[in-house]
Structure 1
């Protein structure tokens, strides 16, 4: 990533882009583009016409104006008339480049480029590429089907879906009081794994914080919401109070959204490094890994929660190793560059998960771990957020398992720089065409 402040996703890597993750005080420029997708939910919910700037499914395209998007969704949303009126009134007051401001910040910090958010975006904005359906993509589309799609779409357009992500990034802190998972059931597992990661890799682990991303609590306080929104959009908290109140009202309008605890709000995980960005450091942002409750819920739903939370954290820590060792640098550009860093992070994470000095999981659990990456592979070959196909992600993890097994001294660990060089030598084979 070329930006100063750096953010990498988990296996999770980079989304094709419609996502609205932005950090307002640091606005640059960014473009909308929706690519890879499965798109079941949108096809089902957005089949009616939407006028000029519309996709074949009827939904407004990424290039449609903010007002067109709001008009389209409000006309179809299952909302009281007074709440619809509030949405349209706020829309008139928001600047025309409202979405672009948010996307610019997300582009700069990489928050819109995580594989997890890509799955969410694709359920809203299906594009030109599609992979074979995995259990996780099926689950995601089912979660969209639970709720009033048009209310969900309004939250998406207005930045409400991104609030929990930015709340964790901007105001999150590492604390013993933190819990992971909606019910807190992953707290001990992830805190122990983070301690192990800090001692396993040859980077300064003490400077990397681990914190959760929560749903309902992100919408609990209007003043807190307004502050986070002001950073997202680059204005003052006072300017965002009306939006904050409306977002909270929308979240509470549909019981299926659980007041913000629906997994779609927190289906994300990422690593962040503010090094070299004065504005990010002024905000108090530190090197951190943020784990969303929604991801753990999704992995549990598809039967991968035995190893997936740890493997996701290990992947994210792999990005921190890449930051520390300058492993993001390569002659590759665009989708190929993103794919390389994501597949390498898969390998770094799997190496830790299977190594005797790491998590030392057995072969059966390794396969389960690999499946957590396989489930979020994508076929968005032209997207800047391309993370590798399911088979490539599986191949990367399998290669890392082989490195562990081939070591004569099972107590020895390969350092980050050496591991990166070994991976780059293997990369051409990992990404070689595999169609039969």
Structure 2
């Protein structure tokens, strides 16, 4: 079984942001990974670009393999770039009547990231070339755990997340020594054409070093042409954190188990007032996915499609909160943790028919609250439940968590 990313900003999100608008609720169900250029089905047309930009894009197109779009899409599918909890932030379809679902500060923040961009069409080309996803691919292909790593634009989350990573490995009863906690920095990545080049070489299978470096310089140049993109430090490039494992994959790529945390998502949490404990909640949630991978919990269900995805995400919310509030975990105050659990509430969606459905805001908050209640109601506050036992309790609670909650 292929294990994939647990969350990320996706091509869908990048394309939507590139157009500078949030999707109308009624239209969001019909959206697939597309931008105006990529979805047209017509030959790629650079004629409307300013001359200097046109020359750069034409050079990039000339350097790419003839089947580069197929290679791009195949890589996104192989590594699960679209199978993420953040994929629906701007792609939520509201189904009124049964569930309470509303806009959140997080979605409002995400739609503001590319506001004021002067040339949406050139931004579309960055989307077409996967520029918004390249930092994700670099962290996936080349990232590694190191004492020199920093988390956050100014390293402000480094100590917190490094310490928590060690605590998570001690807390859960799974094989976790090989799980690496890896940062992702957009500006640092786009300041190095050589790093961009090695990522493009893997993504597109380009063997010619000179050609791929030239392509990297073109894409880096386009990124740096937009002041609002901040040379790659705009949070949109690293609006991303994910768990990855090839446990059980019959065709592994040789990528080690990892959790990647982007600067952009940490900045987003801080921007909406959740910077205190939300980063720890994010890391605990992603580690919950690794518990699922090691315990083979993802396939341990009769649910399919959106309901199956919702189950794994709500379980990761519950597992993460269980760790954060447990006296032998982070030992955080329950109210403080549930306040930070709004980081998942904020990302809840109502895309009930989408395979990327991860639970409504209320369901995600309820799952976290349940995880805390298991800790608070335990007779032995120092006992850590085996992960399989915690799963057993969660499976019994899940129908209650996901039951309709609308009041009218």
TM range (shorter): 0.7 to 0.9
Distance across 1 between alignment mates of 2:213 and 2:189: 14
Give the alignment's Cα RMSD to 1 decimal: 2.9
Distance across 1 between alignment mates of 2:203 and 2:274: 33
Closer, same or farther: CA 43–193 of 1 in aligned 2, 3 Å: closer
Partner of 1:82: 52
Closer, same or farther: CA 46–189 of 1 in aligned 2, 3 Å: closer
Q: Secondary structure of 1:156's partner?
A: helix
Q: Which has the higher helix share?
A: 1
Closer, same or farther: CA 43–167 of 1 in aligned 2, 3 Å: closer
Distance across 2 between alignment mates of 1:429 and 1:97: 48
Confirm or deny that 1:302 pairs with 2:302: no
Partner of 2:115: 145
Distance across 1 between alignment mates of 2:23 and 2:59: 23
Partner of 1:50: none
2:243 to 271, 283, 306: 271
Check the 8 A contact 2:306/2:353 in 1, yes or no: yes
Cα distance, 1:61 vs structure 2: 7.9
Cα distance, 1:95 vs structure 2: 5.6
Closer, same or farther: CA 46–339 of 1 in aligned 2, 3 Å: closer
Partner of 2:346: 375
Cα distance, 1:274 vs structure 2: 2.3
Cα distance, 1:365 vs structure 2: 0.5
Partner of 1:28: none
1:340 to 311, 314, 330: 311
CA deviations over 1:176-206 (Å, ceiling 9, x no partner) = 0000001000000000111110110001221
Check the 8 A contact 2:186/2:232 in 1, yes or no: yes
Q: Secondary structure of 1:113's partner?
A: coil
Cα distance, 1:396 vs structure 2: 0.7
Q: Single out whichever of 215-224 and 325-334 deviates more from structure 2.
A: 215-224
Cα distance, 1:172 vs structure 2: 0.8
Distance across 1 between alignment mates of 2:92 and 2:176: 39
Distance across 2 between alignment mates of 1:185 and 1:92: 42
Partner of 1:241: 213
Check the 8 A contact 1:182/1:293 in 2, yes or no: yes
Partner of 1:216: 187
Partner of 1:18: 12
Partner of 1:232: 203
- Provide TM-score, normalisation by structure 2: 0.87
Confirm or deny that 1:175 pairs with 2:146: yes
Q: Secondary structure of 1:159's partner?
A: coil
The aligned runs of 1:42-61 (5 Å cut-off) are: 42=19, 44=21, 60=36
Cα distance, 1:111 vs structure 2: 2.7
Partner of 2:392: 421
Check the 8 A contact 2:63/2:215 in 1, yes or no: no
Distance across 1 between alignment mates of 2:252 and 2:191: 25
Distance across 1 between alignment mates of 2:228 and 2:128: 19
Closer, same or farther: CA 391–94 of 1 in aligned 2, 3 Å: same
1:8 to 5, 9, 29: 5
1:250 to 197, 219, 222: 222
Unaligned runs of 5+ in 2: 25-29, 96-100
- Provide TM-score, normalisation by structure 1: 0.82
Q: Secondary structure of 2:341's partner?
A: helix
The aligned runs of 1:96-135 (5 Å cut-off) are: 98-119=68-89, 122=90, 128-129=93-94, 131-135=101-105
Cα distance, 1:44 vs structure 2: 4.6
Q: Secondary structure of 1:195's partner?
A: helix
Distance across 2 between alignment mates of 1:14 and 1:216: 17
Check the 8 A contact 1:314/1:353 in 2, yes or no: yes
Check the 8 A contact 1:17/1:112 in 2, yes or no: yes
